[in-house]
């Protein structure tokens, strides 16, 4: 079997369906909500932003272990190892959603809400 790397520069929305069954009902409802939206929706953008923050995509590089495993496995591991509740994941999504809306309205996001590269 040939190894196929699915790594991209930042979290790809195509991975979202592969995360659905990794957590409980609140998480599954969030995934269903996001998947029902168009590709250019704020929901998909917010989910992507949330996953970039959780996965630490800004510190991933082509020769890192995470990149060699690929985005799908990295995201799945991040979600399954997330220590907080599903409601905390939903709250992280809601924060990312608010950040996207604020950015669209003002062109800025407060410094403490920016994507950090600390992982």
Query: How does pLDDT run across 12-71, given as a tens digit for each residue?
Result: 999 999 999 999 999 999 999 999 999 999 999 999 999 999 988 888 887 777 777 888
Measure the CA–CA gap between 8 and 72, rounded to whole angstroms.
10
pLDDT tens per residue, range 15-26: 999 999 999 999
* 56 close to 82: Cβ distance less than 8 angstroms: no
Per DSSP, the residues of 26-78 read HHHHHHHHHHTS-TTSHHHHHHHHHHHHHHTGGG--TTSHHHHH-HHHHHHHH
pLDDT tens per residue, range 87-116: 999 999 999 999 999 999 988 876 655 444
Tell me the whole-structure pTM to 2 decimals. Answer: 0.84
Residue among 71, 55, 67, 63 nearest 13 (CA):
71
* Of residues 59 and 119, more confidently modeled: 59
């Amino acid at each position: 079997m040939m190894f196929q790397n699915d790594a991209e520069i930042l979290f790809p929305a195509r991975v979202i369906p592969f995360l659905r069954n990794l957590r409980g009902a609140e998480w599954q409802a969030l995934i269903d909500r996001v998947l029902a939206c168009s590709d250019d929706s704020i929901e998909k953008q917010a989910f992507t932003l949330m996953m970039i923050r959780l996965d630490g995509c800004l510190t991933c590089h082509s020769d890192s272990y995470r990149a060699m495993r690929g985005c799908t496995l990295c995201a799945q591991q991040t979600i399954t190892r997330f220590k907080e509740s599903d409601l905390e994941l939903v709250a992280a999504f809601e924060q990312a959603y608010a950040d996207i809306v604020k950015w669209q309205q003002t062109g800025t996001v407060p410094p403490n809400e920016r994507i950090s590269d600390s992982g």
